[in-house]
């Protein structure tokens, strides 16, 4: 594949103290994700899916090995530098949308752009374009409580990509949705990846959606394995 390597994990290990013992979740895990590619992370609960996503998103530090974002080694970076990379280069989508209830859909999408320093007019213009792209432009001025589950999750995806990140990490983004709505939300997400060159890793238990992605991986004995 000629596309850039947006995310790479090299020899990553993660261990947790459990009582008097040590629980090893990742044991020298290697993984790479290219721009414009969707990868399904399919693994049973307790095998380390969330840990892998947290490490990839620089929310945790590995005990050994290295995480690279767009070729940059992140292990030796300070908290401020890691926060800047998360803000600018990584988008997160969770099973629950985590939208701010007191703000409208468009304001929720504007928020990360304003934090990144964009002016209000530009942030609103980009937010409106993303809502249109997700086919919910007509819901721009509605608060989350006035939106359906699928609409809320599409707003959450739009918010995650508002700062044009290189990498999108999604943890069960359609887990709370019915199959038809889940399929529609994934269609919008997939189109966004193709159009923008975004690299997306999506943890899911939905095997139908996983089958539609470019690659499928799982975690076996602390390593990332292609399916």
Percent of the chain whose predicted confidence (pLDDT) is above 90: 66
Cα(73)–Cα(69) distance, integer angstroms = 7
Q: Number of folded domains in the chain? A: 1
Residue at token pair 């899916």? 49
Q: Which domain holds residue 216?
A: 38-50+78-226
Name 41's bridge partners: 203, 217
Residue at token pair 């020298």? 28
199 in a domain, yes or no?
A: yes
Cα pseudo-dihedral 139, 197, 52, 130, rounded to 10: -10
Cα(193)–Cα(118) distance, integer angstroms = 23
Answer yes or no: are the C-beta atoms of 71 and 21 closer than 8 Å.
no
1 in a domain, yes or no?
A: no
Is the pLDDT at 2 greater than 70, yes or no? no
Please state at what angle helix 120-133 crosses helix 149-160, rounded to 10 degrees.
Answer: 130
145 in a domain, yes or no?
A: yes
User: Once rounded to an integer, what is the mean pLDDT over residues 55-75?
Assistant: 94
Looking at residue 96, its pLDDT comes to 77
Looking at residue 146, its pLDDT comes to 97
Going from the C-alpha of 189 to that of each of 33, 119, 192, 223, the distances in angstroms are 16, 26, 5, 27
Looking at residue 202, its pLDDT comes to 93
- pLDDT digit string, tens, across residues 196-211: 889 999 999 888 889 9
Name 167's bridge partners: 90, 199
Q: Which two tokens stand for residue 157?
A: 């995806």
57 in a domain, yes or no?
A: no
Percent of the chain whose predicted confidence (pLDDT) is above 70: 99
3-state secondary structure of 77: coil
User: Once rounded to an integer, what is the mean pLDDT over residues 219-225?
Assistant: 94
User: Once rounded to an integer, what is the mean pLDDT over residues 59-78?
Assistant: 94
The CATH number given to whatever domain includes residue 142 is: 3.40.50.300
| Per-residue pLDDT band at 70 (split at 50, 70, 90) | very high
Is the pLDDT at 1 greater than 70, yes or no? no
70 in a domain, yes or no?
A: no
186 in a domain, yes or no?
A: yes
- Name, in order, each residue with C-beta under 8 angstroms of 15's C-beta and a sequence gap of 6 or more: 22, 23, 24, 25, 63
7 in a domain, yes or no?
A: no
- pLDDT digit string, tens, across residues 100-136: 999 999 999 999 999 889 999 999 999 999 999 888 9
Identify which of 134, 133, 112 has the alpha carbon closest to the alpha carbon of residue 123: 112
- pLDDT digit string, tens, across residues 36-58: 999 999 988 888 898 999 999 99
């Amino acid at each position: 594949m000629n596309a850039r390597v947006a995310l790479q994990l090299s020899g990553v290990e993660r261990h947790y103290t459990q009582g008097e013992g040590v629980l090893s979740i990742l044991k020298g895990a290697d993984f790479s994700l290219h721009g414009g590619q969707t990868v399904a992370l399919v693994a049973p609960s307790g095998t380390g899916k969330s840990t892998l996503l947290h490490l990839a998103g620089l929310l945790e530090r590995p005990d050994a090995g290295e995480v690279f974002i767009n070729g940059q080694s992140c292990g030796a970076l300070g908290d401020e530098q890691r926060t800047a990379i998360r803000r600018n280069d990584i988008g997160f989508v969770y099973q629950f949308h985590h939208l701010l209830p007191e703000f409208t859909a468009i304001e929720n999408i504007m928020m990360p752009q304003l934090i990144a320093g964009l002016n209000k007019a530009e942030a609103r213009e980009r937010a409106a374009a993303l809502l249109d792209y997700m086919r919910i432009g007509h819901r721009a001025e509605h608060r989350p409580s006035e939106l359906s589950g699928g609409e809320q999750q599409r707003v959450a995806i739009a918010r995650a990509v508002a700062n044009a990140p290189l990498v999108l990490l999604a943890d069960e983004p359609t887990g709370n949705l019915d199959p038809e709505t889940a399929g529609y939300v994934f269609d919008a997400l997939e189109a966004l990846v193709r159009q923008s060159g975004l690299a997306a890793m999506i943890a899911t238990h939905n095997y139908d959606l996983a089958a539609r992605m470019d690659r499928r991986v799982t975690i076996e004995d602390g390593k990332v394995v292609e399916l």
